[in-house]
Structure 1
Amino acid sequence: MNLDNSAINRENVTKEINELLLSYGFKTSNIYDRSCFDLLARKDDILIILKILVNVDSLTSTQAEELSKIAGTFLASPIIIGLKSKHNYLEEDVVYERHELPVITPQTLCNIIVNDIHPEIFAKRGGYYVKINGELLRQFREQKNLSLKELADMSHVSRETIYRYEQGNSQTYPETALMLEEVLQKPITLSINLLDVKNNNSLDKRIQEPKELIKLGYDIKSSKKTPFDAVSESTKNAKDITKLQEKLENKLDEIEKIRAEINKKTRENHILITNLEKGRNTRTLNNIANKTRDISSVTGYDALFVLENKQDKENIEEIPAIYTWEIKDMENIEDLLKLIKERKNEAE
């Protein structure tokens, strides 16, 4: 990914990234300049939410919190793309951090998408670090018939340091890891997979409208820094998810299997990207509908408008419009989903 330094700005970087993702099979959303995210991209089970900046220090804590919660709700990977901080340009294949969100350069993203090369180095206060795979380190040491002290002496570290590395995935300086790899003639560092969904944080339950959806069994989670008003998530699998999360903590050997089951259960919760009337005029509603349709298309989640005032329309720019009086007559979530499907089919 070659960016012309003379033409570097957020608009150009965003355009380049969008074209990169499209060329490698991702479906991308429109670009949302005034949102907590700029771009959504999906390929198979991978969903990425990107915020693109020139100076990564311009990311606010409010933006980061909202982005993190949107990613958690959508089971997506939040990534900040940046070119520099206040003092320096960011380096390729290094993962930085701002407000607990990962930050990488456009070229690092390109290496991940194009070559499936994930970075191994991460930056923290005090310098650059890598993570040691303790189990691999022990296996390779034993294969060479080296004791802890022998490997420590050859690598210019203490015996206690080698022991600590082998007991868990410890972090160390890249130079130390390189010395160990030269002695063992094997790679022992862990790559950082930014596309792996780990974030369980989700949008807050802040609002109590539309109460008709709440009555059906949805949690309404508001969003103030996105092109839509809220995300509605049914709670029918909440107990199942809680039990699975407890198993996830207690059975590390089953972690991948349980995580997949959690994701499946969560997706069955019928997340709805939700918009409200709020006294908005037709032009505003149409503008919101166009953005919401785009986001719905990329994420794979259904969208709807919940309207109070009776109008002669069942869709707003192909987004189903459901009236509060209709929801009041429904007995369960399946009735709502059936009506949404019918109105989607009518719009198509």
Structure 2
Amino acid sequence: MKIDNFQINRENILNDVNTLLTTYGFQTSDIYDRSCFDILARKDDILIILKILVNIDSLTAAQAEELSKVAGTFLASPMIIGFKSKHNYLEEDIVYERYEIPAISPQTLCNIIVNNIHPELFAKRGGYYVKINGKLLKELREKKNLSLKELADISHVSRETIYRYEQGNSQTYPETALKLEEVLNSPITLSINLLESDNINSLDKRIQEPIELIKLGYDVKTSNKTPFDAISEQQHASKELTKLRQKLESKLDEIEKLTKEINKQAKNNNILITNMERNRNENKLKQIAHQTEDISSITENDALFVLEHKQEKDFINKTPVIYTWELKDMNKIEDLLKLIKERKKEAEHS
């Protein structure tokens, strides 16, 4: 995906990235210019959330924090797509980072999506680095009957450095990794799969409305600079996800299994994309409904309005409307989910 340098602007990058994703089988959301993210995209079990910038240094700490939290809540992989930093253009197949969120060029994204080529190099202060597959390094060393000291001497590093590499997925300079690969006659670096989410952040600012959802056992967490008001998450599911995320952080060797388990739990109607009345007129509610339906479709989570005043229909566009007096009569979450399902069906057949 080549873009003429004279045509570099945010709108062109947005359109090109959106075209790339849809061409290669991703379902994409609308583009949200004033949100902490610009595009949501899903393909099978892959969900990515993208912020598009010309200069990646224009991302603020507040935007990054909110982007990370929204991504963690939806179990999506956050990415920044940009052309340059303050002084230089982003290089192809190199992963940069801003506020702990990976940042790559559009061409790097293209290589990942089109050719399944994931970058190995990442940029940090001090230069470029690669990650060493410590388990593989140890296996190859032992297969060649080399001691830690022998491999260290041949590779011109210390014994402690080789030991550290083998104990975990440590990072090193590409030149050091290349020397080790020459000695062991095998690749030992790890590619960086930006499509796999290990983000453990999530929205955490709880609000006290709608009280009826909270009484049913939902935590309602507000979000800033997003096309929806809040995320409502079942309390028991939230606690289980928190435990799983803690395990994910502490047991690196179980990341793949735990991620699948988290994804499985998160799909069981635990999350409701929630909107409230807040003295909005009919046109504004319809606008919010359109945005909410778009995000609901991409994230595969149900959405609803919680309203106090009776509408002509029990849905806005295709989003179910649940009234506060109905919630008061419910004793369990299953009652709410059943009603949402009924109103979705009613909206689809209207």
Instruction: Give the shorter-chain TM-score range.
Output: over 0.9
Q: Deviations over 1:269-313 (max 9, x none)?
A: 521111111101111111111111111111111111111122222
Q: Is the 8 A contact 1:237 1:269 kept in 2?
A: no
The alpha-carbon distance between structure 1 residues 333 and 289, as it changes in their structure 2 partners (threshold 3 A), is: same
Return the alpha-carbon distance in structure 2 between the equivalents of residues 53 and 151 of structure 1: 44
Counterparts in 2 of 1:261 and 1:286: CA distance versus 1, 3 Å: same
SS in 2 for 1:306: strand
Change (3 A) 1:251 1:292: closer
Query: What displacement does 1:257 show?
Result: 2.5
Confirm or deny that 1:35 pairs with 2:7. no
Cα 1:290–1:243 change in 2 (3 A) is closer
Aligned to 1:52: 52
1:75-131 superposed Cα distances (whole Å, 9 cap, x missing partner) = 100001111011111111111111111111111111111111111111111111111
Instruction: Supply the distance in 1 between the matched residues of 2:261 and 2:6 (Cα, whole angstroms).
Output: 48
Q: Distance in 2 between matches of 1:167 and 1:31?
A: 43
Q: What whole-Å deviation, never above 9, does each CA across 1:250-285 have from its counterpart, x for those lacking one?
A: 766544333322322233252111111110111111
What letter corresponds to residue 291 of structure 2 in structure 1? K
- Separation (CA, whole Å) in 1 of partners of 2:3 and 2:255: 40
Q: Which amino acid aligns with 2:236?
A: K
Q: For 1:336, give the aligned amino acid.
A: L
| 1:150-177 per-position Cα deviation (integer Å, ceiling 9, x unaligned) | 3333322233322222222211111111
How large is the Cα RMSD of the aligned pairs?
1.7
Partner-residue secondary structure (3-state), 2:224: coil
Residue 13 of structure 2 is aligned to residue 3 of structure 1: no
Please list every run of at least 4 consecutive aligned residues from structure 1 whose deviation after the TM superposition is greater than 6 angstroms: none
Name the structure 2 match of 1:126.
Answer: 126
Task: Provide closer, same or farther for how the CA distance between residues 233 and 251 of structure 1 changes in structure 2, counting only shifts above 3 A.
Answer: same
Identity %: 74
Counterpart of 2:80 in structure 1 is: 80
2:178 aligned with 1:162: no
What's 1:143 paired with? 143
1:146 offset after TM fit, Å? 2.9
CA distance in 1, matches of 2:86, 2:248: 40
Match of residue 258 from structure 1: 258
Deviation of 1:338 after TM superposition, in Å, equals 1.1
2:190 aligned counterpart, secondary structure: coil
Partner of 1:201: 201
Q: Residue type of the partner of 1:110?
A: C
Counterpart check, 1:110 vs 2:116: no
Aligned 8 A contact 1:134 1:167 in 2: yes
Whole-angstrom CA distance in 1 between matches of 2:243 and 2:169: 27
* 1:222 correspondence with 2:222: yes
CA distance 1:247–1:199, shift in 2 (3 Å):
closer
Question: Structure 2: which amino acid aligns with 1:292?
Answer: T
**CA pair 98-165 structure 1, distance change in 2 beyond 3 A:** same
Distance 2:317 2:300 in 1: 17
Partner of 1:270: 270
Kindly provide the amino acid, as one letter, of the partner of residue 187 in structure 1: P
Deviation of 1:139 (Å): 1.7
Q: 1:272 corresponds to which letter in structure 2?
A: L
Aligned to 1:324: 324
* Whole-angstrom distance in 2 between the partners of 1:193 and 1:145: 32
Residue identity in the other structure for 2:267 = R
Give, as a single letter, the amino acid of the residue that structure 1 aligns with 2:53.
Answer: L
Q: What letter matches 1:311 in structure 2? A: Q
Q: Distance in 2 between matches of 1:202 and 1:308?
A: 29
SS in structure 2 at match of 1:237: helix
1:311 aligned to 2:311? Answer: yes
Flag the 1:238–1:274 CA change in 2: closer, same or farther, 3 A: closer
Partner AA of 1:178 in structure 2: L
AA at the equivalent of 1:169: N
Deviation, 1:228, is 0.6
The secondary structure found in structure 2 opposite 1:275 is strand
Aligned length: 348
Q: Which amino acid counterpart does residue 105 of structure 1 have in structure 2?
A: S
Give the deviation of 1:244 after TM superposition: 4.5
Shift of 1:243: 5.1
CA distance in 2, matches of 1:55, 1:197: 24
Opposite residue 97 of structure 1, the aligned amino acid is E
The one-letter code of the counterpart of 1:25 is: G
TM-score (norm 2): 0.94
Tell me the residue number matched to 2:286. Answer: 286
Residue 46 of structure 1 and its aligned partner are, at CA, apart by 0.5
- AA aligned to 2:112 is I
Q: Is the 8 A contact 2:27 2:41 kept in 1?
A: yes
Give the Cα–Cα distance (whole angstroms) in 2 for the partners of residues 189 and 253 of structure 1: 17
User: Distance in 2 between the 1:219 and 1:240 partners?
Assistant: 13
Show structure 2 runs of 5+ residues with no match: none
Task: Give CA-to-partner distance per residue, 1:176-218, whole Å, 9 cap, x none.
Answer: 1111112222100111111111111111233100101101111
Q: Distance in 2 between matches of 1:27 and 1:294?
A: 10
* Match runs of 1:169-208 below 5 Å: 169-208=169-208
Q: Which runs of 5+ in 1 are unaligned?
A: none
